[in-house]
Amino acid sequence: MRAAQLETAAQNGAALDGESFIRPHLRELAAYTPIEPFEVLSAKLGMRTEDIVKLDANENPYGPPPEVLKALGSLKFPHIYPDPESRQLRATLARDHSVSMDKILVGCGADELIDLLMRCCLDPGDAILDCPPTFTMYAFDAAVNNARVISVPRKDDFQLDMPALLEAAREQKPRMIFVTSPNNPDGSLVPDEDLQALLQLPALIVLDEAYIEFADHPSRAGWVGKHSNLVVLRTFSKSAGLAGIRVGWGCFPPELITYMWRAKQPYNVSVVSEVAACTALSCQEYLKEKRDLLVQERQRMTAQLREIPFLEPYPSASNFVLCKVVGRDAKGVKDALAKQGIMVRHYAKPELSGFIRISAGRPDQTDLLMKALQAL
């Protein structure tokens, strides 16, 4: 059809514009709204990057262990292509998490693995199911992959609406179901019994554990393989402080991972990424210390947020806290803080427009945040 249109246009001497080459479903894609790079933000606010209190993207304010920077400064083979199988990193992950190495695949962030899974599992017109409010990359990647999105909204306390979810799954037969534990943006966990019920469905269950290190709850990575329809995704972006380097990983059932290996870009994980991730994993003490500081800070911040009359913080098992903003405009609160160089997350989506999400930072950052909130 599209080929015929292009041919007619060419015969009529019509100019072929770039858009005519784009696949029709992608012409419907909403324009990408870029986040402001840290340096651009700094120039805009007229503040040094180190003075900006960046609590809007759940990044780790402590950064990676100092050994990572040392290792990156003395890379031996930056001029040689990386190992397409990331063997060193996968072996280290396998050892640390007691999962066999052949269940592990590494990617350019967990984001790449979400897209790769969809490219491997979805035909055009297939559906995924997600449970908003949640991480928006599932719906984004579904749109890029010409898949439909079935949304089953979470309940008021952000728990999964299991009866609605099971019914939607039975009626609409999604190929993949995405659940996030702890969930972004509220930090709630998916209970074992909910996950067990989901695993009975004839769908691939993708459990996104980007923040599991911050929860007092074990990862379900060990469940992979016992269930042939479970994938667990993890990342180095949050607790390991490597968001800018881009490394994520996942545990996949053997029958699935075979095809993901065939479909992935051979050099998706750079030498820089592999060295940074392996070095970070060799510094468990540092990672644990910073993780504990962030959990402690989340608790301290939550208690103080409760004292702010216009904020209602939700309990969180992660490194961020979602707050309902009452009697005030949430976007107004976000903008007023941003003017002072304190960045928190606000969402344009109607179901979240009355909320802000604040990442746990260093104690001095929480103090600045609280002072600014008290003065609003």
Ligand X SMILES: *Cc1c(COP(=O)(O)O)cnc(C)c1O
Could you list the residues that contact ligand X (CB under 6 A)?
109-111, 135, 180, 184, 208, 210, 235, 237-238, 243, 248
The CA distances from residue 158 to 102, 322, 325, in Å, are: 35, 11, 16
Q: Which is nearer to ligand X, 184 or 268 (CB)?
A: 184
Indicate the helix (H) or strand (E) that contains 285: helix 284-306
Q: Which is nearer to ligand X, 136 or 304 (CB)?
A: 136
Q: Which is nearer to ligand X, 269 or 275 (CB)?
A: 269
Smallest distance from the beta carbon of 107 to ligand X, in angstroms? 8
Closest-CA residue to 130 (of 114, 109, 146, 153): 153
Smallest distance from the beta carbon of 235 to ligand X, in angstroms? 3
The letter for the amino acid at 162 is: M
Q: Which is nearer to ligand X, 180 or 268 (CB)?
A: 180
Smallest distance from the beta carbon of 346 to ligand X, in angstroms? 16
Radius of gyration, CA atoms only, the chain? 22
Smallest distance from the beta carbon of 106 to ligand X, in angstroms? 11
Contact status, residue 269 vs residue 105, Cβ threshold 8 Å: no
The length of the chain is 376
Q: Which is nearer to ligand X, 111 or 373 (CB)?
A: 111
Strand stretches in the chain, DSSP E: 53-55, 104-107, 127-130, 148-151, 176-180, 204-208, 230-235, 248-251, 311-313, 320-325, 342-346, 355-359
Question: Percentage helix, strand, coil, to 5, in the chain?
Answer: 45, 15, 40
Q: Which is nearer to ligand X, 355 or 373 (CB)?
A: 355
Neighbour count for residue 330 (Cβ, 10 Å):
21
Smallest distance from the beta carbon of 33 to ligand X, in angstroms? 17
Smallest distance from the beta carbon of 59 to ligand X, in angstroms? 9
Indicate the helix (H) or strand (E) that contains 192: helix 192-199
